[in-house]
Amino acid sequence: MRYVPRLIERELLASARHFPAVILTGPRRAGKTTLLRRTFPAATYCLLEDPDTVARVRADPRTFIAELRPPVILDEIQNTPELLNYLRTAIDRTPSKKGLWLLTGSQEAPLMRGVTESMAGRAAVFQLLPLAAAESARVSLLRGGFPEVLARPAAAQTWFRSYVQTYLERDVRAISSIRDLATFRRFLGLVASRCGQMLNKTDLAAPLGISVPTITEWLGILETTGEILLIPPFHENFGKRLIKSPKLYFVDSGLACHLLGIESEAMLRRSTFHGPIFEGFVASEIAKLQSGAGRRRELYYFRDQQGLEVDFLVPIGGARLALIEARASAGVLPGAGEPLIRLARAVERYDVECSVVHRPPAGGPASTALLPGVRAQSVADLPALLRLPKRKSAGSRTRGTVSRG
């Protein structure tokens, strides 16, 4: 599979002109290294997973930094957090030089603790998720967006099985002292079966025979490593009594399908999880688009105690709000838009746009009127719906060119 330009490239290039360091976090195998190496081809590359390199860093981090010739990509910086203090010293020595230090990390929380302590004000921080549908037409509900899966779809199940095993043995153990990885693996499958539901920690703890505090810790690990999204309820009640628990989704629909044993499109369409997985796919696409535009994540849901529920509420600038329902079916009936209309009537201080996002049939219309003020649209319509900038063509992109330190 050829390199796929990422939406976030423009933000990385802009930040490299204004900050001494750029830090890119995100799930393992989302494409962080490839992105930085393609965006900044003049930068020296250094992998901080190589045992010899790690040994050199730990023996003499000051000399290691001094011998580097910036700009440099320090890949998987969480393996050598001791470097961050020395990087701060090097940055403060020549604060006018920008874009010299390009860092990646797969485990967001440990990395961010180091950034907070050592790199505050010196680094622009971004998160890269798997490929979005706006970046590649190969992204799908069944396969998700991991680049290596899309490059070799016939080997998808083997890839996901290996990914889960590597995730358990490396990322989970690096963050926590979990010993019972078999139970954690069962926990992953159980979480996948709760996609699209409001988080109920007791419901997750009981089948596994573990405590609610342990479930809290394990959910924190999944969120820290970029595997799940916890979508909070909207912060305004519009005069209604609200449900306050977050909703749970997997970032990658392909991984969720794998954990649920769904191996084909036919199995997916017959599955009771078809709707929840598509709902999570839409949530993930929104998060990817916001991240790719350099925006903070603003994604909520709405549910009150009278049963009115809308899948997603997304601020789209000023006093505007997008109300979105996700439907996995190819055909959408007008009734799917009724919750949007009901909530729109209660939203007085916002200008609202209502959409039902679904899976239109091949060759079917991309966008149709469903009800007055409500459109049925596809995932491809999300960038326009969210008022995000259009992606430039690959030929119009300029690679990063920063001066040597």
- What was the pLDDT predicted at 397? 45
Mean pLDDT of the chain: 89
Among residues 65, 34, 49, which one has the least CA distance to residue 147? 34
**Tens digits of per-residue pLDDT, 121-162?**
889 989 999 999 999 999 999 999 999 999 999 999 999 999
Q: What is the DSSP letter of 305?
A: T
What pLDDT score does 360 carry? Answer: 80
Both 107 and 219 in one domain: the answer is no
Instruction: Name the pLDDT band for 203 (thresholds 50, 70, 90).
Output: very high
With a cut of 60, say whether residue 229 has pLDDT above it.
Answer: yes
Q: What is the DSSP letter of 248?
A: E
pLDDT, tens only, 363-381:
666 678 888 999 999 999 9
Q: Does pLDDT of 398 surpass 70?
A: no
Tell me if 181 sits within 8 A of 168, measured CB to CB: yes
In a domain, 295, yes or no: yes
Span 352-363, pLDDT tens digits: 999 999 988 776
- Is there a single domain that holds both residue 102 and residue 251? no
- 3-class DSSP assignment, residue 47: strand
Tell me how long the chain is: 405
Give per-residue pLDDT as tens, 288-331.
999 999 888 999 999 988 888 999 999 998 889 999 999 998 88
pTM of the predicted model as reported, rounded to 2 decimal places:
0.91
Query: By percentage, how much of the chain surpasses pLDDT 90?
Result: 66
The string of pLDDT tens digits covering residues 168-198 is 877 787 777 777 888 999 999 999 999 999 9
Are residue 100 and residue 177 in the same domain, yes or no?
Answer: no
Q: Report CA-CA distances (Å) from 282 to 10, 85, 112.
A: 23, 39, 27
Q: Is the separation of the CB atoms in 326 and 312 below 8 Å?
A: yes
In terms of domains, do 207 and 91 share one?
A: no
Please report whether residue 278 resides in a domain: yes
pLDDT exceeds 70 at position 281: yes
Pair (177, 107) in one structural domain: no
| Residue 207: predicted pLDDT | 95
Nearest C-alpha neighbor of 147 from the set 129, 165, 166: 129
Identify the domain containing residue 295 by its residue range: 147-385
State the CATH number of the domain containing residue 56.
Answer: 3.40.50.300
- Other Cβ atoms less than 10 A from the Cβ of 292: the count is 25
Q: What is the mean pLDDT of residues 106-135?
A: 80
Query: Which residues in 177-328 belong to E strands, given as ranges?
Result: 228-231, 247-250, 300-303, 309-315, 320-327
**Chosen domain end from 94, 128, 162:** 128
How far is residue 162's CA from residue 166's CA, in Å, rounded to a whole number? Answer: 6
The pLDDT value recorded for residue 311 is: 96
Q: In this model, does residue 116 exceed pLDDT 80? A: no
Task: Please state the domain count of the chain.
Answer: 2
Q: Is residue 140 part of a domain?
A: no
Asked if 61 and 72 count as a contact pair (C-beta separation under 8 A), the reply is: no
Do 264 and 340 lie in a common domain?
yes
| SS3 annotation, 86-133 | HHHHHHHHCCCCCCCEEEEECCHHHHHHHHHHHCCCCEEEEECCCCCC
d(CA 252, CA 145): 7
Instruction: Determine the Cα–Cα distance for residues 272 and 267; give it in Å rounded to an integer.
Output: 10
Q: What pLDDT score was predicted for residue 395?
A: 39
Identify the pLDDT of residue 404. 44
Question: Per the structure block, which two tokens stand in for 46?
Answer: 């250094």
pLDDT reported for residue 37: 96
Q: How far apart are CA 316 and CA 324, in angstroms?
A: 12
Q: Smallest Cα–Cα separation from 356: which of 389, 379, 387? A: 379
Is-contact 224 108, C-beta < 8 A?
yes
User: What average pLDDT score do residues 262-281 get?
Assistant: 96
CA angle at residue 48 from 42 to 51, to 5 degrees?
130
DSSP conformation letters of 132-181: PTTT-TT-BTTTBS-HHHHH-GGGHHHHHHHHHHHIIIIIIHHH-----H
What mean pLDDT is predicted for residues 276-280?
97
Closest to 271 measured CA to CA, from 286, 246, 253? 253
CA distance 306 to 303: 8
